[in-house]
Amino acid sequence: MKKATANIQAILIADLPETFVTRRIPETLLEFGGIRGDRHFGLTSKADSRQPMYPRGTEILNRRQITIVSEEELSQIASELGVEKVLPEWLGANLLVKGFPELTKLPLGSRILFPSGAGLICMGENMPCTLPGEEIQKQYETHSKLATRFVKAGFKRRGVVCAVERPGTINETDEVQILINNYSNPMQ
């Protein structure tokens, strides 16, 4: 098993019902289910277009409790889009990390451990869609077709979705340990 570290740059919450856009908070308690009050909080969620194997609306395990993006990948997205910056808030992210530039390639089953003992388990890549692209478009009205261009620019750079494996408090100044899953000798 390979190990890496990264630094938390921001903790964010989507707690307004009319939008997926997040806002920054200095610390939070990760609970089984995610961040209480966040739009993705819960042990279960309703199946949508991401789970076509189930009828839409079917109650399923919530694998998208926490979304994480990296500062380095957001810079790459911004560069490809030709804009100054892409903020994690516009993507509805819960955590922004720095120091692990290929976050989106983090294998399923990898762990992210916090100093408090809290732990996340990676449930896979967060696939880009036009919704965050529309938010980026609002920020850069003079640029054309950012909503659809984001899907391509965000491919393999959109970050990962995680579930809380162990609750605990996290802070925006935390250094996290990343345990990278190896499929030939997987962590259980």
- Reported as a single tens digit per residue, the pLDDT across 119-129 is 999 999 998 88
31 φ/ψ angles, rounded to the nearest 5 degrees: -115, 165
Beta bridge pairs of residue 161? 67, 124
pLDDT attached to residue 50: 87
Long-range CB contact pairs, 130-139, < 8 A, 24+:
131/20, 132/20, 132/90, 132/91, 132/92, 135/21, 135/90, 135/91, 136/81, 136/83, 136/86, 136/90, 139/83, 139/90
pLDDT greater than 80 at residue 188: no
The strand ranges marked E within 16-172 are 23-25, 27-31, 34-35, 44-46, 59-61, 66-70, 95-98, 111-113, 119-125, 160-166, 168-171
What value does the mean pLDDT of the chain take?
Answer: 96
Q: From CA 159, how far away is CA 126, in angstroms rounded?
A: 6
What domains does the chain contain, in order, with CATH numbers?
Answer: 2-180 (2.40.33.20)
Q: pLDDT over 70 for what percent of the chain? A: 100
Tokens representing 182?
A: 């190896």
Torsion of CA 142, 147, 152, 153, to 10 degrees: 50
pLDDT attached to residue 130: 87
**Chain segment 141-177, per-residue pLDDT in tens:** 999 999 999 999 999 999 999 999 999 999 999 999 9
Torsion of CA 15, 58, 133, 64, to 10 degrees: 60
Q: Which amino acid is at 23?
A: R
Tokens representing 66?
A: 């926490």
pLDDT attached to residue 28: 98
